[in-house]
Structure 1
Amino acid sequence: MTRTAEERQKFIVLSMLFVAWLIGNLDRMVINVAIIPIADEFSLDPTAQGLILSSFFAGYALMQIPGGWLADKFGAAKVLTFSLFLWSIFTALTGSAWSLVSLIIIRFLFGLGEAPFSPSSAVLISEHFPKDQRGRAQSTLLSASVIGKAITPVLASGIIVWLGWRSLFFAIGVAGLVVAVLCLFYLRSPVRDRAAAANTSANKVPLKTLLKMPLLWSLLVTSFGIYFVTWGMASWMPTYLVKVRHLDLLSMGALSTIPSITSFLSMIAGGVLLDRWLAGKEKGFVAACALLTAVFIYLMFNAPSVGMVILYETLSGITGTFIVIAVGLQPLKRFSQEVIGTAMGIVNFGGQAAGFVAPLLIGMTVKAFNGSYDVALWILVALMVVCAIAAMTWPTERKTTAATPASPTQAG
Structure 2
Amino acid sequence: MARHSADAHLPAANADQRPFNPAISTTARATTVRWRIFAIIFLLTMVNLIDRVSLSIAMPTIANEFSLSPSMQGLILSSFFWAYALLQVPGGWLIDRYGPRRVITWSTGLWGTFQVLAGLATGGASMLFARVALGAAEAPLFPSGGKLISLWLAPSERSRGAVMMDSGSPLGVALGGLIIAYLIATLDSWRLAFVIAGVATLALAWVAHRYLRDDPALHPQVNAQELEKINAGRATPAAEAAREQVKGLGIAGRSLAGLLIGRSSWAMVYFGLLTWGPSYLAQARGFDIKGIGAATFAIFICGALGSLAGGFLCDGLIRKGVRRGLAVKGLLTFSGLVALCALLLLPTLSNPFGAVGLLAMTAFFLMWGSLYWSFPALLAAPSRVGLIGGVMNLAGSVGGIFVPILVGVILQFFGGFGAVLAFFAICAALFVMATLFISLDGKREVSDV
Do they superpose with TM above 0.5? yes
Give 1:70 deviation, angstroms: 0.6
1:393 shift after superposition: 1.3
- Displacement of 1:229: 0.3
| Cα pair 2:310 2:331 within 8 Å, conserved | no
Whichever residue aligns with residue 43 of structure 2, its letter is V
Contact residue 343 and residue 422 of structure 2 kept, 8 A = no
Partner of 1:286: 332
Corresponding residue of 2:442: 398
1:243 and 2:294 aligned: no
Secondary structure of 1:88 counterpart: helix
Q: Check the 8 A contact 1:284/1:391 in 2, yes or no.
A: no
Deviation at 1:201, TM superposition (A): 7.1
Deviations 1:348-373 (A, max 9, x none): 11111111111111012112223x11
Q: Mapping of 1:295-310 within 5 angstroms? A: 295-310=341-356
Q: Could you state the TM-score of these two structures normalised by the residue count of structure 1?
A: 0.92
Give runs of ≥4 in structure 1 deviating > 4 Å: 1-6, 195-202
Pick from 405, 409, 413: which aligns with 1:360? 405
Gaps of 5+ in 2: 1-21, 219-235, 319-323
Change (3 A) 1:319 1:15: closer
> Partner residue of 1:189?
214
Shift of 1:197: 10
Match for residue 122 of structure 2?
98
Q: How does 1:226-265 map to 2 (within 5 A)?
A: 226-265=266-305
Residues in 2 aligned to 1:89 and 1:4: alpha-carbon distance in whole angstroms = 44
SS of the residue corresponding to residue 96 of structure 1 reads coil
Q: Is the contact made by 1:12 and 1:186 (CA closer than 8 Å) also made in structure 2?
A: no
Q: Distance in 2 between matches of 1:316 and 1:199?
A: 41
> What do you get for the CA RMSD once the two structures are aligned?
2.2
1:255 Cα shift?
Answer: 2.3
* Structure 1 counterpart of 2:178: 154
AA aligned to 2:262 is T
Paired residues of 2:109 and 2:202 also in contact (CA < 8 A): yes
In structure 1, stretches of 5+ residues that fail to align are none
Identity %: 28
Structure exhibiting the larger radius of gyration computed from Cα positions = 2
Q: 1:165-180 to 2 correspondence within 5 Å?
A: 165-180=190-205
Matched with 2:166 is 142
Which has more helix, going by share of residues? 1
Q: Deviations over 1:78-101 (max 9, x none)?
A: 011111111111111110111111
**Letter of the 1:251 counterpart:** G
Give the secondary-structure state (helix, strand or coil) at the position aligned to 1:7. coil
Name the structure 1 match of 2:375. 330
Partner residue in 2 for 1:321: 367
* Residue number in structure 1 paired with 2:12: none
| Amino acid aligned to 1:44 | L
| Count of residues paired in the alignment | 401
Partner of residue 151 from structure 2, selected from 106, 112, 127:
127
1:7 to 20, 31, 36: 31
Matched with 1:215 is 255
2:424 to 367, 380, 391: 380
1:345 paired with 2:394, answer no
Shift in alpha-carbon separation, 1:255–1:156, aligned structure 2, 3 A: same
TM-score, normalised relative to structure 2:
0.84
Query: Which residue pairs with 1:49 in the alignment?
Result: 73
* AA partner of residue 124 (structure 2): L
Q: Is the 8 A contact 1:334 1:397 kept in 2?
A: no
**Change in CA separation of 1:326 and 1:191 when aligned onto 2, cut-off 3 Å:** closer
Cα distance in 1, alignment partners of residues 380 and 78 from structure 2: 30
> Which amino acid counterpart does residue 280 of structure 1 have in structure 2?
G
